[in-house]
Structure 1
Amino acid sequence: MTANLKALHEKVSHHLQAIYADVVLDRPVGELATALMQTMRIDNDDDIIAPQSHCNYWDEGDVVMITYGDSITDGHEKPLFTLHRFLNTYCVNTINNVHILPFFPYSSDDGFSVIDYSSVNESLGEWEDISGLAEEYGLMVDLVVNHCSSRSAWFENFIKGEGTGSDFFFTASPDDDLSMVTRPRVSPLLRETQTSEGTKYVWCTFSHDQVDFDFRNPKVLLAFMEIIRLYIDKGAKIFRMDAVAFLWKIVGTTCINLEQTHEIIRLMRTLIEHVDPRIIIITETNIPNRENLTYFGNANEAHAIYNFSLPPLLVNTLVTGDCRYLKSWMMSMPPAQSGTTYFNFIASHDGIGLRPAEGLLADEEISSLVHAMQHFGGKVSWRASAHGQQKPYEINITLFDALQGTIAGPDRFQVDRFICAHAIMLAMEGIPGVYIHSLLGTSNDYEKVANTGQNRSINRKRWDLSELEALLDSPFSQHHKVLTRLSQLIRIRKAQPAFHPNATQFTLQLGNQVFGFWRQSLDRQQSLFSISNISDKEQSVLLSDINLFGTDHWMDLITREPIDNDENYLQLKPYQTVWISNLDPS
């Protein structure tokens, strides 16, 4: 074994020793490390690409579109091909990365109950379609690592007691003390299952169709490293670690955010970055903000973490006309060190999560927000608290309808308020993710909710391409207005060095009706002020509060209007955002 391979082998072994310290293994750790490296095809020096620490493999030009493989359909072709055509037609010079939500055969949860990790759902297309997209766009894929479908071959083998998967799943006893277990759902935790070896109680964090893996068995880890290698071969550049916080379970604990979970992420990163250092890991951990931040590790775990606190805080800001909570949160957020960054989003296939707002919004604020969203046609999904109480877990609503008004009710500023939300998000430190239904200005899909019986379906509309094209071509439709204005903002954003995901960010103090922050490019050449009126009344901002340097010429990049330093005030219309810059690189 060469020196480089030996060093990597020692590092992998160190990870494994930490993970399995309390587990009796059937083979030495060194043999398991060798098996993992072989699975990832890191067998000789030619296979090793040494990663550089604290290297940013992203810049201001990176924007991710989040979509299902069949969010847009045309009856004459496979949906993945239709998606590719849509991107090439309507997202030119805006979107350069695409997150295709689970595109595998599945049994429930719109893809997150995976039957077979190694194949593409034939109703969407095939691996050739995935690889074709990966040739033109950075491909982000889900690693549904906590659980799989109860209809998978692995779980069928568990029931039979033989074959691959027969020992892959976590079981417990109804007599165990499970009172501390953190739950995102109100369904019973244990699923009674009849097997060839008698009755077993399978752990189900999310639903009884989503059976949890037992990572105490190294075979599970090996199986997932094989899956990761397959996805890399098919063109994956970003891995989204779904529900990863629940990965490791120890009866008698909360079974969330355990140290073994963090160590498994560190191990996966070590192996992945030695195949291709440019591949990015993003952890999907829908948990309170302080816990979420721990997934950065010491720049040796996730490259990026979902900024889960942003959606509820930003929606609350815009429906109340008060940014104090958003401002306090932004001031408390640590800058991401080089080699890490935030993944910013304000809408996704799921709802507006409320757990990440705990400790940031008062209970009364959350209750008020929930009430307002219900008034706008939203649904509420619940979870069980540690004391057995039901608490709101997420609000299910499209972002477009969530911003149709204020706590006083709907008004005429829906589109402006919606664009304001994205202008704030696009300007923030981090990589922006834009949900396809935000890009299209999609409204609540009540028909789909009625058909599926699932609240989350409200924000998972499936568009017919011809219908969508007619709406996008109509200058009077909300869809045309939203796509046009968002595309303009994204194109401007991509040209600004001050919007690099790791560029300096500083929160401004401009009162509670105006939300502002300053960004400075890494080379310190560009200063950029993002200032938004988050209320339904015109606001004035003292230019002296912004501190525009008199030696520079300033311009609002959105309106292309110069900023006159001799003026005392900056006038902002309701929900207007200005991006004031001393440079215009666009």
Structure 2
Amino acid sequence: MQEFGGVSYDQANHPKVQQVQHRVEQHVQQIYGAEKSAEISADIMRDGGLTDAAIDTHTLVNKWDEGDVYTITYADSIKKNGELPLKTLHRILRQHLRGVTNGIHILPFCPYTSDYGFSVVDYHAVKPEFGSWKDIQAISEDFKLMADLVINHCSSESEWFKNFKEGKDPGSDYFVLGEDYEDVSKVVRPRPHPLFTNVQTVDGEKEVWCTFSADQVDLNFRNPKVLLEFIRVIRTYLAQGVTVFRLDAIAFLWKESGTTCVHLDQTHEIIKLLRLFIETLEPEAIVITETNVPNKENLSYFGNDNEAHMIYNFSLPPLLLNTMLSGDCRHLKAWMMSMPPARRGRAYFNFIASHDGIGLRPAEGLLSEQELKDLTDTLCSFGGEISMRKMPDGQLQPYEANISLFSSMAGKIGGAKDAYHLQRFICAHSIMLALEGVPAFYIHSLLGTENDLQGVADTGELRAINRHNWDADMLEEKIADPGLHHGEVFESLKRMIRVRRQQPAFHPNATQYTLHFGNEVFAFWRESLNREQSIFALHNISDKKQEIPLVELNLIATENWRDLLSGEKITPCKQSIVLEPYQSTWITNR
């Protein structure tokens, strides 16, 4: 017997514990069936520490506001001789980004064997070459910390997979076997390599399912012991200060013979269960799903307010890039008008670049095949490459563009590099910052990093083009050099971010309406939740001056209007404003 609120009780019979256990059992039944649901649920309650967590009293909190801006980085994107990368990262963050971004997504930092961390060997450890859990905790004390839950697969060098080959536990039944799936003809593939890899085990040769590479072996979530392993992993992350969980490649989690093996019902149910578990332990925590798929499929991961708190806005990068390179925002406007407003408790996670390439699948149905070809041809002319995926009929289709975002903005579609490179790049980010949702900046976008062709040559990996490792001292020199673009990019973006973070109308859930000033001006209106602040965000996405009639904005004459970016006062009686090529203006009454 324990005491709660001055009253003695049996923990198992406490109403809050019973409520959580009932919800766990509901999800477990949908995943594994009714027969073993009680046993599996009891294991989850025990291993997850849910009994104690459920009876704690928590104050409900808003999980985000206009001040939330994330930086995405590898632990070793910036390195200094004689210093562990996580310590270097923390020092750089405090020196340059304190008060600018308040959230940090550190890409996989566990020991790994390939794919820049996404083939995890040990989920409960930090790669010693990066630092330690103390370094992770130190960063979490200064910034909201996002970490990857690489949940679909693990490394072929992990202890689990070694045990699988030797017929030992834990791991002997942790992996997906080809022999259990009669029909895989419809399986959606993100890669062109074979779906199965042959490995030698104590029981002979076995085919194991490998969605992403032969070194990344898919985990078998039909076995509830695998789910329990990740329950324990999440507890480790929470204990070390992680409060934002990025569910990597989650769409591929569950397999059924004769299906696409993507977005299956059991996958969605596992996300619901993980959210319940995570929020019970840490009410302020956020679950974000990484699903690089067409827009409608991506939206499904909000569930009924019971799956992801945030979803990556995967259609934004290819559409915004196409807008900036074509000088035509028709498709971006059409997409934005089709997007449902994210209800309170949900938010879009906006980004233009990440550690991966620029996904092209999310543009399917939004850009025509010819438009996609024109876009990819232009990116290749700026030094990029195109990665392919294999279709069920064996044909190859473009999957992502591999190029640094700064290099991708060098010119217009079908043209050569031009004089508006920097302005085009800054304008794209001003759009992202103003849009409904939580903005995130890849570290190499903040720094204006160009294509790392040497990295591709050294590794043979196309994605290395956008995964440069900066020497910290050299980076400081380049940022300080007025003759280079790095410092101008860094300071311009930081200034816009600081402005953005002070505007209630840029709350991730604030009202957003599309405005129409032709195809060369991408414009929309934001209004704060309390309706006290309005912002008209106008962006010239062309290389020609654009004149915008102020009468069409219907500015209230009694309000004091100004441009947040330039500081210029805007007089409502003025007939029009003129935007220079790729200029942005955020006109506000507050």
Quickly name the TM-score band, shorter chain normalised: over 0.9
Q: Following the alignment from structure 1 to structure 2, what is the Cα–Cα distance between the partners of residues 49 and 283?
A: 27
Which structure 1 segments of 5+ residues have no match?
none
Match runs of 1:185-584 below 5 Å: 185-407=191-413, 408-583=415-590
Once the 2 structures are TM-superposed, how far is the Cα of residue 208 of structure 1 from its aligned partner? 0.7
Distance 1:45 1:306 in 2: 29
Q: Distance in 2 between matches of 1:294 and 1:568?
A: 44
SS of 1:410's partner is coil
Is the Cα contact below 8 Å between 1:49 and 1:273 reproduced in 2?
no
Q: Does 1:134 align with 2:175?
A: no
Deviation at 1:46, TM superposition (A): 6.7
Contact 2:17 2:55 in 1 (8 A): no
Deviation per CA, 1:276-313, whole angstroms, max 9, x where unpaired?
Answer: 11100000000000000000001110000000000000
Counterpart AA for 1:85 = R
SS at match of 2:21: helix
Matched, 1:37 2:45: yes
More divergent stretch after superposition (495-504 vs 401-410): 401-410
Task: Give how far 1:173 is off.
Answer: 3.2
Aligned partner of residue 397 in structure 2, secondary structure: strand
Shift in Å, 1:487: 0.3
In the aligned structure 2, how far is the partner of 1:175 from the partner of 1:509? 51
Q: What is aligned with 1:93? A: 99
8 Å contact kept, 2:388–2:400: yes
1:8 corresponding residue in structure 2 = 20
Question: 1:19-34 to 2 correspondence within 5 Å?
Answer: 19-21=31-33, 28-34=36-42
Q: TM-score under structure 2 normalisation?
A: 0.96
Contact 2:336 2:514 in 1 (8 A): yes
CA contact (8 A) 1:554 1:580 kept: yes
1:174·1:190 contact (CA, 8 Å) conserved in 2?
A: no
Deviations 1:234-267 (A, max 9, x none): 0001000000000000011000000000000000
CA contact (8 A) 2:16 2:54 kept: no
Q: Matches of 1:47 and 1:452 in 2, distance apart?
A: 51
**Contact 1:150–1:210 (Cα < 8 Å) also in 2:** yes
What letter corresponds to residue 562 of structure 1 in structure 2? K
Deviations 1:404-426 (A, max 9, x none): 11112210111110000000000
**What is the number of residues matched between the two proteins?**
577
Amino acid aligned to 2:128: E
1:114 counterpart residue number: 120
Counterpart pick for 1:84 among 77, 82, 90 = 90
User: C-alpha separation between the residues in 2 aligned to 1:44 and 1:310?
Assistant: 41
* Displacement of 1:49: 4.6
| TM-fit CA distance, 1:537 | 0.8
Counterpart secondary structure, 2:214:
coil
Sort the Cα spacing of 1:228 and 1:284 in 2 relative to 1 into closer, same or farther, 3 A.
Answer: same
Greater alpha carbon shift after TM alignment, 256-265 vs 470-479: 470-479
**Amino acid paired to 1:34:** A
CA contact (8 A) 1:307 1:343 kept: yes
SS in 1 for 2:147: strand
Secondary structure of 1:173 counterpart: helix
Distance 1:48 1:217, change over 3 A: farther
Residue 371 of structure 1 aligns with an amino acid whose one-letter code is D
Identity of aligned residues (%): 53
TM-superposed deviation, 1:194: 1.3
Contact 1:39 1:229 in 2 (8 A): no
Give the aligned residue type for 1:170. Answer: V
> What amino acid is aligned across from residue 485 of structure 1 in structure 2?
S
Mapped to 1, the partners of 2:130 and 2:515 lie a distance apart of 46
- 5+ long unaligned stretches in structure 2: 1-11
Alignment partner, residue 8 of structure 2: none
Q: Secondary structure in 1 aligned to 2:376?
A: helix
2:180 & 2:345 partners in 1: Cα distance? 44
- 1:236 is paired with a residue whose SS is coil
Q: Call closer, same or farther: CA 1:242–1:357 in 2, change over 3 Å.
A: same
Contact 1:191 1:204 in 2 (8 A): yes
Cα distance in structure 2, aligned partners of 1:165 and 1:174 = 17
Amino acid at match of 1:270: L
- Once the two structures are TM-superposed, the CA of residue 552 in structure 1 deviates from its matched residue by 1.2
SS at match of 2:50: coil
Contact conserved, 2:310 with 2:346, CA < 8 A, in 1? Answer: yes
Amino acid at match of 2:50: I
User: How far apart, CA to CA, are the structure 2 residues paired with 1:49 and 1:262?
Assistant: 28
The aligned amino acid for 2:214 is H
What is the distance in 1 between the residues matched to 2:181 and 2:572?
71
Q: Is 1:154 matched with 2:166? A: no
